[in-house]
Amino acid sequence: MIDKQARIALLIDADNSPARKIDVILAELAKVGVTNIRRAYGNWKKDGLKGWEAVLHEYAIRPIQQFDYSKGKNATDMVMVIDAMDLLYTDQPEAFGIVSSDADFTPLVMHLKAKGAQVFGFGAKKTPEPFVNACSRFLYLENLGADAAEAEESEKPPKARANSRRKPRAGAKAEAAPEPEAESSTEAPAALKQDTQSLKRDARLVALLRNAVESAAGEDGWSPLGSVGQQIGNQASFDPRNYGYRKLIDLIEATQLFELDRRGSQFVLRDKRQARPARG
């Protein structure tokens, strides 16, 4: 018998999101369950949505047309909210994926979570913090998909990497470069890993990690890494990739605020402040 997987409704603000990230968005949601509802909202008469039109059929995304009722105003947000509420009480998916960088969705996210649904947000780094923090987990689109591209480039020999960056000779037949998408302005270059000093200066991150480690501590004062991750997930929207690290343990180690030890197949950690010898 096949285990029942969580059903996910993916709602995309196509007016405010890049199409080129759809594959990694779906890959992230596949870790949670099955995205059997996929809808993209926007005014499809606009040239700016050509990038999304090119991927609708490939990824089985249903386009939802919404005209702009007044100049300078976007009616897409309201339609997405209405559909999300309708889905919540009819299809009742276990989770929602909201792709947007618009803070106007914050009340919707809070309501969906209050009714028991998980909400996974995807947006640009310009996304306001209220929306980011309201989600069960929020991922910056600039950080998604960058690792694979960087790894592929780093595996090439130095000469090959240089050739890939070299301009074609005059008169040589060059491959046609893909036309830039109109919505590419929402993206920025992939962020580098934040160094130790930057991480330590992030008061919210430090407090989150320390509180989670303290809450997960056993009688011996050490906290299993898995329990720490669960505590963090219960407290806030969090993903180590937003700081440039693929795994939680890599981020924790980079902060240099915790002692790490391996016991069998699992890691345990504790706040370095707890390990300081008492003064005589």
How far apart, in whole angstroms, are the C-alpha atoms of residue 22 and residue 181? 13
* Alpha-carbon separation of residue 177 from 58, 150, 184 (angstroms): 21, 20, 15
Q: Looking at the domain 196-275, which fold is it?
A: Nucleotidyltransferase; domain 5 (3.30.420)
pLDDT in tens, 237-250: 778 888 888 888 99
Q: Are 43 and 65 in contact (CB under 8 A)?
A: yes
pTM of model > 0.85: no
For the chain, domain boundaries: 6-143, 196-275
Pick the CATH number of 6-143 from 3.40.50.1010, 3.40.50.720, 3.40.50.300, 3.30.70.120: 3.40.50.1010
Q: Which residues contact 84 (CB under 8 A, 6 or more apart)?
A: 9, 11, 96, 98, 108, 112
| Strand stretches in 14-131, DSSP E | 33-42, 62-65, 95-99, 118-123
**Measured distance CA(212)–CA(227) in Å, rounded:** 8
Q: Which residue has the higher pLDDT, 236 or 167?
A: 236
**3-state secondary structure (DSSP) of residue 210:** helix
pLDDT of the residue at 204: 81
* 3-state secondary structure (DSSP) of residue 141: helix
pLDDT for residue 15: 87
